[in-house]
Amino acid sequence: MAKAKKENFKEMTKGELEKKLVFLREEQRVIKFKAKGSKSKNVKELAGLKKQIAKVLTEINTKSIK
């Protein structure tokens, strides 16, 4: 099982981060609907997405402050 490459949000532009945020939120919505209908195979997937969303939002906020 290959480990996914870690993304470096600090090197991304604000526009790229906002696109990534939209993508992650859509993915989160899809997983929530899958969980409502049946048992999810990967229980920790939603928690991981929440953490990634938080990291992206933090980086967007730091870029907007500067």
Tens digits of residue pLDDT in 35-58 = 777 766 677 888 899 999 999 999
Integer angstrom CA distances of residue 30 from 15, 37, 43, 49 = 23, 11, 14, 11
38: three-class secondary structure by DSSP: coil
Residue 59, Cβ neighbours under 10 Å: how many?
19
Give the global pTM.
0.78
pLDDT of residue 39: 64
Q: How many whole angstroms separate alpha carbon 7 and alpha carbon 11?
A: 9
